[in-house]
Amino acid sequence: MKETDIRPEHLHRRYLELCAEDAETCFSSAGRTDLPCVACGSSETQHEFTKSGFAYARCAACGTLYQTPRPTIEAFERFYRNSESSRFWAEEFFPAVAERRRGSIFRPRVERLARMCAEKSVLVERLVDVGAGFGIFLEEWRNVSPGTELLAIEPSGLLANACRAKGFRVVEDIVENVRGYDGFADLVVCFEVLEHVWDPVAFLKILARLARPGGFVCITTLGIDGFDFATLWERSASIFPPHHINFLSVAGFATAFARAGLEDVAITTPGQLDVDIVRNAFARDPAILSGNRFAQQVLRDEATSRAFQQFLVENRLSSHVWTMGRKP
């Protein structure tokens, strides 16, 4: 899989342009508050850079990178309801790549998750997908496990209707407002959402609330220990406010899950795109790797690139992170 397979350059470029515009228009008058580390709670942080008017700091204790001082949660809620970048993603970007992502992301995601559950002897009779989007993950899960009772939680009316059209039970709301499903699921999943939320630990506690005792919570998101972040840092196209505001470290994920009351936490980084992301950034701007002879050498040979990407996966140094924990 290549970056352009899931993020066509012209769509990705337009999306980032709209995000930068929304950062100014949606938050120009919003008050902001300094936050301790969103993963471990430490107040020992260091400012790293500012992007589109949003400052980012890194935690000295666990290494997490996060946006602070942060606008209010109400400002973010208005942004997600009304912003042009959110509309573009839901109505233009994702529909254009949805089927392409089915084979490259969603089907392998189901296969991987099913293996993880089998290894932990988890019988998944009820599953909740928080931020279900167009329901593609749920479709693929239903294909391999038709007996599972499935629930989609999706705040977007457009996306919620897409899930309903596929026959899924849907709660159309943000997960913070969901009632009546405490202790419901054997498995609660949430894909590529944690990087967006205002308070990651509070969010994880809500996910845990939906799981039965002994059930599991599994999230995927971006992690700051990944090679592409370490190499590109503030020039990474994956760091774009107001959407992406949390980038936990491996240590940060472990601490955040523990603070949310989850046990037996397993963290893996099975990403495939770190080297390709750096290669594409280098192609757009060769100065981006000025003086970084090691990275340039890795990119020079395809076999070396593939071997290095596998090294990143095996050593939890990819930026695509899976974290799974059990509710006591």
Q: Which residues of 28-50 are buried (b: 16+ CB within 10 A; e: fewer)?
A: eeeeeeebbbbbbeeeebeeeee
Quote the CA–CA distance of 309 and 303 in Å, as a whole number. 10
Closest CA to 316 of 267, 277, 276: 267
Quote the CA–CA distance of 248 and 250 in Å, as a whole number. 7
Question: Model confidence at 107, in pLDDT bands (50, 70, 90)?
Answer: very high
Closest CA to 190 of 242, 87, 260: 260
Quote the CA–CA distance of 204 and 252 in Å, as a whole number. 13
pLDDT in tens, 155-211: 888 899 999 999 999 999 989 889 999 999 999 999 999 999 999 999 999 999 999
Residues 6+ apart with CB under 8 A from 142: 148, 150
Q: Would you state the pLDDT for residue 188?
A: 98
Average pLDDT rounded to a whole number, residues 241-253: 98
Percent of the chain with pLDDT over 70: 100
The answer to whether 237 and 74 are in contact (CB under 8 A) is no
Q: Would you state the pLDDT for residue 303?
A: 97
As for how many domains the chain has, the answer is 1
Residue 43 has pLDDT above 90, yes or no: yes
Quote the CA–CA distance of 259 and 38 in Å, as a whole number. 11
280: left (phi over 0), alpha (psi -120 to 50) or beta: alpha
Pull the structure tokens for residue 133.
């989007």
Quote the CA–CA distance of 120 and 122 in Å, as a whole number. 5
- Within 10 angstroms of residue 310's Cβ, the number of other Cβ atoms is 12
CATH code, domain carrying 288: 3.40.50.150
pTM of this prediction? 0.95
Percent of the chain with pLDDT over 90: 92
pLDDT in tens, 263-296: 999 999 999 999 999 999 999 999 999 999 999 9
Q: Which domain holds residue 132?
A: 3-326
What type of residue is 183? G
